[in-house]
Structure 1
């Protein structure tokens, strides 16, 4: 199992060059927009980063496949009080290790940002975006709702694999 994931952002030209320069690495070109202008390159190799300005995430817990397909979502939660951090850790641990995976979820990762240890990240992969949307309305998501506030610097980023026809 890998213990670290890295991400960087840039243009299609720059990120594609990195993919071509390191063909043996598992570098995934991701698109967060319909216009194809908000691209990220995700390194899921677990090896030392080849990016010049990476963001590293240390994987604390993982369940599910390591096959990166479909829809990808990052939920970021930061700025928790020490007590809230303990509660969040407990809820994330229980969900990742014990609860049944929701319909359509392929994998779930609970991670911490390497440079900002207070930044909690739930990375999930899904069959499609509709399955993710359904989960956010499901009872299995309710333990996280308390943390989804601006006070906790909550935000999300969703991606699909870049397709050249998205130009």
Structure 2
């Protein structure tokens, strides 16, 4: 299992050039699902980054496949109090390790930002955006609702994989 993911952002030309320069490296071109042409390149090799401006995420827990396609969502939870951090770690660990995976979910990752250890990330991959949306309205998502506040600097980023 890999222990780190890296992501970078840029134009389609720059990102596809990077993919072409490193053809043996598993990198996936992503398009923001909400705004089109907001592109990112996700390196899932677990190797030292080849990006000039990478964002690194250390993987704490992973469950599911390593098949990267469909819909992907990053949930960021930051600025948690010490007590909330303890509770969040427990809930995220339980979700990734123990709970049944929701319908349509391929994988779940609990990660920390390399440069800001207080930044907690739940990365999930799905068959479709609809499956993700159904999960967010389900009982299995309820443990995370408390942490979805602007006080916790909660935000999301969703992408679709671009097949080339």
With the length of structure 2 as denominator, give the TM-score of the two structures.
0.97
Equivalences for 1:123-138 in 2 at 5 Å? 123-138=123-138
Q: State the partner residue of 1:149.
A: 149
Q: Deviations over 1:105-162 (max 9, x none)?
A: 0000000000000000000000000000000001000000000000000000000012
Q: State the partner residue of 2:5.
A: 5
Q: State the partner residue of 1:72.
A: 72
In structure 1, distance between residues paired with 2:63 and 2:142: 19
Distance 1:111 1:35, change over 3 A: closer
Distance 1:115 1:34, change over 3 A: closer
Give the 4+ runs in structure 1 shifted more than 3 A. Answer: 33-36
SS in 1 for 2:111: strand
In structure 1, distance between residues paired with 2:74 and 2:58: 14
Structure 2 residues without counterparts, runs of 5 or longer: none
In structure 2, distance between residues paired with 1:36 and 1:6: 21
Q: Which moved more, 1:17-26 or 1:31-40?
A: 31-40
The Cα shift of 1:69 comes to 1.1
**Aligned residues, how many?**
164
Q: Which moved more, 1:57-66 or 1:155-164?
A: 155-164
* 1:107 pairs with 2:94: no
In structure 2, distance between residues paired with 1:6 and 1:22: 14
In structure 1, distance between residues paired with 2:85 and 2:29: 32
SS in 2 for 1:15: helix
With the length of structure 1 as denominator, give the TM-score of the two structures.
0.96
The Cα shift of 1:36 comes to 3.7
